[in-house]
Amino acid sequence: MNKRVVIVGASHAGAQLASSLRQEGWQGQILMIGEEPFAPYQRPPLSKEYLRGEKNADELLIRPAEMYIRHGVELLPGRCVRSVDRTAKRVLMEDGKSFDYHKLALCTGARVRQLEVPGADLPGVHYLRTLADVDAIRTRLVPGCRVVIVGGGYIGLESAAALRKCGVEVSVLEVQSRLLARVTAPQVSAFYQRIHAEAGVVIHTGWSVVAIEGEDRVTGVVGADGRRLPADMVIVGIGVIPNVELASQCGLKVDNGIWVDEFASTDDSDIYAAGDCTNHPNRLLGRRVRLESVPNAMEQAKSAAASICGRQQCYDAYPWFWSDQYDLKLQIAGLSEGYDRVILRGDADAGRSFVAWYVCGDKLLAADCINRPKEFMVAKQLLAGALPVSVERLADESLDPKLILKI
């Protein structure tokens, strides 16, 4: 057999893996199988430009479908892999077909966490992970309709911002006492709360949804204290669950993600994994993580492709992420977990531009940069070099951000 790599999952990780395999000089076949009926597309715009109606589906494609063919990547969209037979080195499809592999790459990503309350299956309750999800939302949006967003994380807030631009009424319900509680400092939460309030979004924190009401469609949500909010549509954004079932069913190690090493290899040396579905070690952080971001999917996919081609390329990049809401470009470098101090550069209480540096001792752990692209690049360099930081310099607005690097 002409050696074949089978990639399961056709999204950010899968698309990069296919491309990097060709760059690494892989001569054999590449077969990419994806459950969604499209060529790989960009997910981040789903809660941004696409929800606002500023981009069409073709513009979301990572590359046009015919480019895969041109580079010898066979794409099977709309098809689901049901199981993996590691002894026969074969994937079995839902329709009974099967494909042999020489090497297998699991890029199965994540799926949304479902809201488990009475009424959550009523028409009008939506999630936001796929193109089909957003199409379903968009066809039902009419000016003036009342949308309740459950979850005050990045996806919930980006959706709120996009929906305000579509002229609908938006409320956000967050169970924690502040927005973005899991990922940012109180000052950053307060900033986003102010910005959204200024844009007319009604925010309820400490609000836990216990039921969704309606006869044959959503009419409202009910909170733990019995309060009710009317709603024509509910969008749930309460996190994701990694798709690990294929891996666990075939006996690979799984623990909050498919267990891989720094070269994206599972405990079967013919099977690799990359993206939202993996749990991997990060040398720079000194621990294992499961990340949900495009850069993570792409960089890990590159390591996986190198491994498949017999070259070792350690994946140990610092995590980073971005989020666009209104005119605000938030760029986040690092992970803030474990900080002992937050240092602000700029004014978070007024205006629309500042940095929150998360510091532990004299080391930077992370930075939330709001409309501060230069500081973001500085933060990446501080992290990559594990450079000591001076609190005074981080906070000193009169100093060119470049000079923060000079100790």
Partner 1 sequence: MPIIHYIEPNGAEYEIDVPVGHTVMQGAVDNMIDGILAECGGVCSCATCHCYVDEAWYERVGEPQGAEKMMLEMVVEPEPTSRLSCQIKVTEELDGLVVRLPPSQY
Ligand X SMILES: Cc1cc2nc3c(=O)[nH]c(=O)nc-3n(C[C@H](O)[C@H](O)[C@H](O)COP(=O)(O)OP(=O)(O)OC[C@H]3O[C@@H](n4cnc5c(N)ncnc54)[C@H](O)[C@@H]3O)c2cc1C
Residues that bind ligand X in the complex, under the rule CB under 6 A: 8-14, 33-36, 43-44, 46-47, 80-81, 107-110, 128-129, 155, 243, 246, 275-276, 292-295, 297, 321-323
CB of 154 to ligand X, least distance (A): 7
Rounded CA-CA distance 3/192 in Å is 51
CB of 68 to partner 1, least distance (A): 9
Rounded CA-CA distance 377/218 in Å is 45
Rounded CA-CA distance 109/81 in Å is 13
Q: Which is nearer to ligand X, 44 or 152 (CB)?
A: 44
Q: Which is nearer to partner 1, 15 or 150 (CB)?
A: 15
- Residue 374 interacts with which of ligand X, partner 1, none, CB < 5 to 8 Å by class: partner 1
- Residue 155 interacts with which of partner 1, ligand X, none, CB < 5 to 8 Å by class: ligand X
Q: How many CB atoms lie within 10 A of CB 315?
A: 24
| Cα three-residue angle 186-334-392, rounded to 5 degrees | 65
- Residue 129 interacts with which of partner 1, ligand X, none, CB < 5 to 8 Å by class: ligand X
- Residue 26 interacts with which of partner 1, ligand X, none, CB < 5 to 8 Å by class: none
- Residue 110 interacts with which of ligand X, partner 1, none, CB < 5 to 8 Å by class: ligand X
CB of 23 to ligand X, least distance (A): 18
Which distant-in-sequence residues (6+ apart) come within 8 Å of 65 by Cβ? Answer: 39, 75
Q: Which alpha helices (DSSP H) does 124-185 contain, by range?
A: 131-139, 154-165
Rounded CA-CA distance 307/268 in Å is 13
- Residue labelled with tokens 């899968």: 14
Q: Which is nearer to ligand X, 60 or 246 (CB)?
A: 246
CB of 24 to partner 1, least distance (A): 9
Q: Which is nearer to ligand X, 119 or 292 (CB)?
A: 292
Which residues here bind partner 1, judged by CB under 8 A?
18-20, 22-23, 42, 44-45, 62-64, 67, 71, 294-295, 298-299, 302, 317, 320, 322, 324, 329, 331, 373-374, 376-378, 380-381, 384, 401-402
CB-based contact 4:47 (threshold 8 Å): no
- Residue 164 interacts with which of partner 1, ligand X, none, CB < 5 to 8 Å by class: none
DSSP 292-337: -SHHHHHHHHHHHHHHHTT------PPPEEEEEETTEEEEEEE--T
CB of 58 to ligand X, least distance (A): 17
Q: Which is nearer to partner 1, 269 or 398 (CB)?
A: 398
Q: Which is nearer to ligand X, 5 or 81 (CB)?
A: 81
Q: Which is nearer to partner 1, 125 or 298 (CB)?
A: 298
Q: Which is nearer to partner 1, 205 or 293 (CB)?
A: 293
Q: Which is nearer to partner 1, 41 or 259 (CB)?
A: 41
DSSP 24-88: TT--SEEEEEESSSSS-B-SGGGGTHHHHTSS-HHHHBSS-HHHHHHTTEEEEET--EEEEETTT
- Residue 376 interacts with which of ligand X, partner 1, none, CB < 5 to 8 Å by class: partner 1
- Residue 265 interacts with which of ligand X, partner 1, none, CB < 5 to 8 Å by class: none
- Residue 336 interacts with which of partner 1, ligand X, none, CB < 5 to 8 Å by class: none
Closest CA to 297 of 9, 34, 103: 9
CB of 164 to partner 1, least distance (A): 19
Parallel, antiparallel or unpaired: strands 363-370 and 103-106 = unpaired
- Which secondary-structure segment (H or E) carries 353? none
CB of 116 to partner 1, least distance (A): 33
Rounded CA-CA distance 134/126 in Å is 9
Phi-psi region of 327 (alpha: psi -120 to 50; beta: other; left: phi over 0): alpha
Rounded CA-CA distance 218/214 in Å is 5
CB of 236 to ligand X, least distance (A): 12
- Which secondary-structure segment (H or E) carries 147? strand 146-150
